[in-house]
């Protein structure tokens, strides 16, 4: 083999290596399009299922949102109705207050009139006393009138003693009534319509938020706003204000400023301080 033949042989060998490397590169970059299509199909199915799930979540969320909006509209309507009721109650209470103010003005006018009558009576009494003194100074000249005047004086003295005795009795009665009012924390202007009768009961249940149930109710004379004091033996535990009543039960709220100890079921309640 000559030199040219060897060169061609080497070139053929080199070209074989090149083609072999090219074939290896082509095989390395080859893709299985069938498997790729199956993978894409599976991915598409997964994405479709995820989309359906998200659409269902969106529908559920939309339904919940509509329910929440309906609940809020209902709550707003209830608040508006309650506001109207409170406004009507306020108008009724204002009318009652105006009526009571009018009655108080009438009583004040009557008291002023009574004061004027009393002043006129006092003035008249003074005039009578002056006339009596004049009659006594002229008794020597008017002996016939002295007897009548003496009888009149005696009568006036008797009336005066009786009036003084009655005044003392009234003063004693006023003093006794004043002590009773002061002992119960009342005055002559206190409205006694809301004061409960003298009652004793027990705590039947202790709830949350400072509320308790007592064994006294509307049938016993208890009404909303009444106060009851709580005891355990001789120990004072606190005070409650009645917030809700039924025929034989009532619910009261514990007043924190009066609380002196732990309140339990079975403790006594009384209206004697309220």
The domains of the chain are located at: 196-270
CA distance 52 to 122: 103
pLDDT at 178: 78
pLDDT at 185: 64
Alpha carbon separation from 1 to 5, 7, 13, 274 (Å, rounded): 6, 10, 16, 138
pLDDT at 18: 85
Q: How confident is the model at residue 144 (pLDDT cuts 50, 70, 90)?
A: confident
Residue 181 has pLDDT above 70, yes or no: no
| Mean pLDDT, range 55-81, rounded to an integer | 85
pLDDT at 124: 86
CATH 3.40.50.920 fits 196-270, yes or no: no
- The larger pLDDT score, comparing residue 98 to residue 34, is at 98
Look at phi and psi of residue 135 and say left if phi exceeds 0, alpha if psi is from -120 to 50, else beta: alpha
> Which range among 35-44, 114-123, 146-155 has the greatest average pLDDT?
114-123
Q: How confident is the model at residue 60 (pLDDT cuts 50, 70, 90)?
A: confident
pLDDT at 254: 95
The model's pTM is 0.34
Average confidence score pLDDT of the chain? 84
Q: How confident is the model at residue 12 (pLDDT cuts 50, 70, 90)?
A: confident
- Report the Cα 40 to chain-centroid distance in Å: 67
Q: How confident is the model at residue 159 (pLDDT cuts 50, 70, 90)?
A: confident
- The larger pLDDT score, comparing residue 34 to residue 55, is at 55
Burial of 135 (0-12, 13-18, 19+ CB in 10 A): middle
CA distance 270 to 200: 4
Q: How confident is the model at residue 273 (pLDDT cuts 50, 70, 90)?
A: very low
Strands 235-245 and 268-270: unpaired
Q: How confident is the model at residue 274 (pLDDT cuts 50, 70, 90)?
A: very low
| Mean pLDDT, range 13-36, rounded to an integer | 74
Residue 204 has pLDDT above 90, yes or no: yes
């Amino acid at each position: 083999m000559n030199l040219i033949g060897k060169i061609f042989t080497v070139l053929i060998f080199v070209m074989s290596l090149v083609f072999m490397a090219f074939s290896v590169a082509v095989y390395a970059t080859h893709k299985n399009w069938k498997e790729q299509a199956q993978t894409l199909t599976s991915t598409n199915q997964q994405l479709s299922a995820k989309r359906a799930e998200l659409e269902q979540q969106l529908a559920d969320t939309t339904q919940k949102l509509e329910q929440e909006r309906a609940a809020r509209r209902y709550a707003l309507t209830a608040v508006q109705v309650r506001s109207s009721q409170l406004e009507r109650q306020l108008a009724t209470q204002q009318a009652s207050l105006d009526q009571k103010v009018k009655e108080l003005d009438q009583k004040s006018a009557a008291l002023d009139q009574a004061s004027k009558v009393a002043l006129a009576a006092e003035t008249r009494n003074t005039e009578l006393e002056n006339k009596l003194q004049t009659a006594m100074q002229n008794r020597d000249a008017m002996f016939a009138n002295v007897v009548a005047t003496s009888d009149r004086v005696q009568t006036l003295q008797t009336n005066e003693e009786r009036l003084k005795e009655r005044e003392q009795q009234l003063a004693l009665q006023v003093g006794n009534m004043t002590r009773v009012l002061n002992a119960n924390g009342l005055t002559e202007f206190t409205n006694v319509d809301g004061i409960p009768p003298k009652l004793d009961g027990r705590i039947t249940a202790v709830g949350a938020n400072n509320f308790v149930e007592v064994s006294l109710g509307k049938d016993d004379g208890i009404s909303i706003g009444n106060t009851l004091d709580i005891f355990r033996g001789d120990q004072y535990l606190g005070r409650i204000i009645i917030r809700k009543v039924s025929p034989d039960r009532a619910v009261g709220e514990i007043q924190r400023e009066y609380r002196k100890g732990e309140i339990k079921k079975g403790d006594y309640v009384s209206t004697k301080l309220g």
